[in-house]
Amino acid sequence: MIETSFDIAKTSTGKSLRTEEMVVNMGPQHPSTHGVLRLEVVLDGEIVVDVIPHIGYLHRCFEKHCEHMTNYQQVIPYVDRMDYVAAMTNEMAFVSVVEKLLKIEVPERVHYIRIIMAELQRIASHQIAIGTFGIDMGAFTPFLYYFRDREKILDLFEMTCGARLLYNYMWIGGLSHDLPPQFIGQAKDFCRDFKKTLQEVNDLLNYNEIFIKRTANVGVLPKDLAINYACSGPMLRASGVDFDLRRDDPYTLYDRFEWDVIVGKGEVGVVGDVWNRNMVRQKEMWESLRIIEQALASLPEGDVQKAIPKRIRPVPGDVYGRVEGPRGEIGFYIVAEDSVTPYRVKGRAPAFVNLSVIGEIAKGAMLADLVAIVGSIDIVLGEVDR
């Protein structure tokens, strides 16, 4: 890609017009950085020579706080605030790691409800990702359509646990509340109605000529580089790696449902480009709907608070666990000592790891494409900075 930049800069006389490099700061306050992220962009004309991300503007000492809690339960609200647009999956990651540490078996009903919540959350998160990405690319309508339907998911969360954004819903060994009686009917209605919106947005956005021009063949991330940079989630799958933790490193009861792992195929552009990352998210929502419908249909009975331990004091040791969040692998590394508080908690945030590859894929792109690339990584600065 760099070579083409020199071609553009050559005049008809063959003389190079290569000018001095310029450093432009994109952010911290910039609408397309989706939060407070500063990208130090080295430009040669319009062409990006280098990108150096500066993060930490939203650092809230999550890991230090965890060590100063009075028990493990108190960490959960902090985990919510790591990735604030997908709090349910973060909770799921944390509680499943602590359950692994304590070797607790939770009832089936808890597993089912967690799966329903996590998949609803995945849809809600992808709606924001695709909606705001559309805005970055100049398409406003998908954002409005998705936010209209996202409200229905938030209503479902609200009727279950009272909160719309940061839930503190999944507890170690159980859940804070059982599902209210009207939940199942309303969730089924949502699944039915949302399919129409999905199809509509697919028709409006993904094969739109302008959208394709902006996103196809831009910011290509090759397969081996994606693995070497430990990218995960839609970012990894769009690069053609058939890998999903829900299937390949199973946790809870995902193996009971029928669904497919979406891999970027390069219908438009090449595998691993911005268009494919967006398309993987789009298609994943269909799969999430499939999982939710199956889980709702076969929801077992039981007491969701039966397995909640009275006191959490794990045997000393350390454990790393991970789940598939909307952005990729959410992992927690917990070191336990003989105490009621964790000795060390490290949050492996998917957006943090995915963002580190930007210097690699943005090189040689146009400045306007950088907006598309940042949007396609789907960063949430809350979890990048923790």
Which residues are near another protein by CB under 8 A? 55-56, 59, 61, 63-64, 67, 100-101, 225, 227-230, 241, 243, 248-249, 317-320, 322, 329, 331, 333, 335, 343-344, 346, 348, 352-353, 356-357, 360, 385-386
Long-range contacts of 71-80 (CB under 8 A, 24+ apart): 71/312, 71/340, 71/341, 72/98, 72/172, 72/312, 72/340, 72/341, 72/342, 73/171, 73/172, 73/312, 75/342, 75/345, 76/168, 76/170, 76/171, 76/172, 77/166, 77/168, 79/347, 80/166, 80/167, 80/168
Residues 9, 32: Cα–Cα separation, whole Å: 28
Other C-beta atoms lying within 10 Å of the C-beta of residue 118: 27
Q: Which is nearer to another protein, 195 or 313 (CB)?
A: 313
Q: Which is nearer to another protein, 156 or 358 (CB)?
A: 358
Strand 38-44: give its sheet, edge to edge. Answer: 22-26, 38-44, 47-54
Minimum CB separation of residue 200 from another protein in Å reads: 36
Q: Which is nearer to another protein, 250 or 300 (CB)?
A: 250
Minimum CB separation of residue 305 from another protein in Å reads: 25
Q: Which is nearer to another protein, 166 or 335 (CB)?
A: 335
Q: Where are the alpha helices (DSSP H) in the chain?
A: 2-8, 62-67, 76-80, 87-102, 108-136, 141-161, 183-201, 209-215, 223-228, 234-238, 245-248, 274-297, 350-355, 358-361, 367-377, 381-385
Minimum CB separation of residue 70 from another protein in Å reads: 17
- DSSP classification of residue 107: P
Distance between alpha carbon 226 and the CA centroid of its chain, in Å? 16
Minimum CB separation of residue 228 from another protein in Å reads: 5
Structure token digits, residue 350: 């998917």
Minimum CB separation of residue 100 from another protein in Å reads: 6
Q: Which is nearer to another protein, 52 or 210 (CB)?
A: 52
Q: Which is nearer to another protein, 170 or 221 (CB)?
A: 221
Task: Please state whether beta strands 317-324 and 329-336 pair in parallel, antiparallel, or not at all (unpaired).
Answer: antiparallel
Minimum CB separation of residue 61 from another protein in Å reads: 7
Residues 261, 79: Cα–Cα separation, whole Å: 27
Q: Which is nearer to another protein, 203 or 249 (CB)?
A: 249
State phi, psi for 377 to the nearest 5 degrees.
Answer: -75, -25
Minimum CB separation of residue 241 from another protein in Å reads: 7
Q: Which is nearer to another protein, 212 or 319 (CB)?
A: 319
Q: Which is nearer to another protein, 269 or 314 (CB)?
A: 314
Minimum CB separation of residue 250 from another protein in Å reads: 11
| DSSP bridge pairs for 72 | none
Residues 165, 57: Cα–Cα separation, whole Å: 21
Q: Are 146 and 127 in contact (CB under 8 A)?
A: yes
Q: Which is nearer to another protein, 154 or 227 (CB)?
A: 227
Minimum CB separation of residue 263 from another protein in Å reads: 13
Residues 37, 29: Cα–Cα separation, whole Å: 7
State phi, psi for 166 to the nearest 5 degrees.
Answer: -120, 110
Q: Which one, of 124, 1, 74, lies nearest residue 312 by Cα?
A: 74
